[in-house]
Amino acid sequence: MEKIEKFSNEVCKELKYYVYRLVDPRNGNTFYIGKGKNNRVFAHVKGALKNYEGENYLTKEDDEISLKMKTIREIADAGLEVIHIIQKSGLTEDDALLVEGVLIDVYCLDKLSNQVKGHGSDICPINALTLEKKLTVKEFDDLDTNPKYIMIKIKNYWLSQRNENVYETVRSAWKLSLDRVKKYPYVLAVIDGIVNKVFKVIDWHYANGNSGRVEFDGVEIDKNNEVAKLFVDKKIPARFRKKGQASPVLYSD
């Protein structure tokens, strides 16, 4: 089967900036969208498969990047090749940013493994009534008197992989300092920028003996609890919604 791992210098010069998609040949789904120039489109596969011999796919990067690498390695394990699609080329960098953002909206970010939303991309395709409700939700009061908490943003894709179980999705496993997280008694599960549930932490510990990642055991707080009333069904404050905040974990202080 004919394959390509890099463009010639002549092609690189002609392409300028471009926007690309990585497609899973097993199902035809786009799992990553990016922009770049020269041979950027091929860098993901090379990085994911470098020295790879079936070991655990988790890396020192955050979980969203690991999802992309996991997909690439599963494709390789199936004896297949990632399909590289150049969606649009001959662009300036600014134009490439805009096209990237539009494509991420079209394919819906929650179904992709992109670490950061594209330029100008805020919301996936969404029902108009749902959008109205989402954008008019009140922020929770960002007060010094609030109990200390950690907010963990979880994606709908992750939920679908864990049977829509919010607790199992939010509790494990995060690349965080065990000493630091033990100082926070509450975890807020955030979906689409809104607090879905609040959990009282019983214990933080290393995940499956992995000293690089931690998880917590906890119990969900009833919505009628005074602590839950502070946060549940409310939007996270603006300081936590700044563009470019790639980490899914945010601390109250």
3-state secondary structure the chain: CCCCCCCCHHHHHHHEEEEEEEECCCCCCEEEEEEECCCHHHHHHHHHHCCCCCCCCCCCCCHHHHHHHHHHHHHHHCCCCCEEEEEEEEECHHHHHHHHHHHHHHHCHHHCCCCCCCCCCCCCCCCHHHHHHHHCCCECCCCCCCCCEEEEECCHHHHHHCCCCHHHHHHCCECCCHHHHCCCCEEEEEECCEEEEEEEEEEEEEECCEEEEEEEEEEECCCCCHHHHHHCCCECCHHHCCCCCCCCEEECC
Residue 10 has a pLDDT of 83
For 87, the token pair is: 């969606």
**4 lies in a domain?**
no
Domain that holds residue 41: 9-111
Residue 47 has a pLDDT of 82
101 and 188 both lie in a single domain: no
Average pLDDT over residues 74-88: 88
Q: Which of 156-160, 188-192, 214-218, 247-251 has the lowest mean pLDDT?
A: 156-160
**233 lies in a domain?**
yes
Mean pLDDT of the chain: 82
Percent of the residues in the chain that have a pLDDT greater than 90, as a whole number: 34
**117 lies in a domain?**
no
**127 lies in a domain?**
no
- Strand 249-251's sheet: what is its strand order? 210-220, 194-207, 186-191, 149-153, 249-251
Average pLDDT over residues 238-243: 82
In the structure, what pLDDT confidence band is assigned to residue 201 with cuts at 50, 70 and 90? very high
Average pLDDT over residues 220-242: 91
Domain boundary, last residue among 82, 111, 140? 111
**14 lies in a domain?**
yes
Q: Which residue has the tokens 């799992």?
A: 31
105 and 138 both lie in a single domain: no
152 and 214 both lie in a single domain: yes
What does the pLDDT look like over 116-155, one tens digit per residue?
Answer: 554 444 445 555 666 666 767 899 999 999 999 999 998 8
Residue 128 has a pLDDT of 66
CATH of the domain at 41: 3.40.1440
In total, how many domains does the chain have? 2
The answer to whether 221 and 230 have CB atoms below 8 angstroms apart is no
Residue 122 has a pLDDT of 47
87 and 155 both lie in a single domain: no
Is the pLDDT score of 171 beyond 60? Answer: yes
160 and 235 both lie in a single domain: yes
142 and 241 both lie in a single domain: yes
